[in-house]
Amino acid sequence: MRYGGANGVLAVSGLDLSVKQGEFAAVVGPSGCGKSTLMRLVTGLHIPQTGAVDVAGTRVTKPVSIVGMAFQNPTMLPWRTTLDNILLPLEIVEKHRRRLRQHKAEYVAKAEKLLETVGLKGFGEKYPWQLSGGMQQRANLCRALIHEPQLLMLDEPFGALDAFTREELWQVIRDLHASQDVTIILVTHDLREAVFLADRIFVMSARPGRVLHEHTITFPRPRDLELMYTAEFSEKVHELRGEIADARQAE
């Protein structure tokens, strides 16, 4: 994938990875290595100049409707309540848009259930400006899940939050993955986050990005935050940090 024409920036090249259905995968690497480009390629927001992307057995040639996305900035619409922000994708995804008007109560109940799952029961009528950053990000996760995506793409979703809120949300996304039949790909700079949440971690090279290393994380589930204070967890984080440091030096 190259930006800016034939002589533009080559963002990724030789990038090859596959994620199994129901798996939680994390992608880490140096800044500017093409992690966000990978997200755009998988979701169909960009189409590669060469090579191919397949999602759920179908070649990606346009934006993929079975994908939910959550970013570092929740980007909630300030004039809509939290509940209406969560319902927004249903107005866009065609199969739900047709049903939304006749079955609004059903979708509202589903949104309320998601809010309860992420610890925001009773906050549906609040506006985004009435919520803390962590609460907005919880609502953002609900919005990404409301249309029952088969694939959830998370691009640095907790990066702007304080350490305690971030760890709370790690547990929220851990539990969501355990309770819903969804495949998750997480792009993150936080190596502890990657090791705590993922089944597999892909380490990317400096630009143009490709996969240098792949790690299977064998810590049993469900994982508790206490895991992060074990020697085995620290060793895995240090191993990843060393690989990324080597990748940066190879720029």
pLDDT exceeds cutoff 70 at 32: yes
pLDDT tens readout for residues 166-212 = 898 899 889 889 988 899 999 999 999 999 999 999 999 999 999 99
Q: Which of 116, 148, 180 is the last residue of a domain?
A: 148
Judge if 192 and 159 occupy the same domain: yes
pLDDT tens readout for residues 93-118 = 767 777 777 778 888 998 998 898 88
Judge if 207 and 250 occupy the same domain: yes
| CA diameter of the chain | 57
pLDDT exceeds cutoff 90 at 24: yes
Q: Tell me the two tokens of residue 191.
A: 């190596």
Sign of torsion, CA 213 197 26 169?
negative
CATH number at residue 53: 3.40.50.300
Please, which pLDDT band fits residue 251 given cuts at 50, 70 and 90? low
Whether residue 71 is contained in a domain is answered as: no
Taking residues 26-30, report their average pLDDT.
95
pLDDT tens readout for residues 204-224 = 999 999 999 999 999 999 999
Judge if 42 and 166 occupy the same domain: yes
Q: Tell me the two tokens of residue 202.
A: 């892909």
Q: Which domain holds residue 124?
A: 76-148
Whether residue 25 is contained in a domain is answered as: yes
Judge if 166 and 223 occupy the same domain: yes
Q: Identity (one letter) of the amino acid at 177?
A: H
- Would you state the pLDDT for residue 22? 94
Rounded distance between C-alpha atoms, residue 19 and residue 108, angstroms:
32
Residue in 127, 234, 245, 118 with CA at minimum distance from that of residue 175: 118
Tell me how many domains the chain contains.
Answer: 2
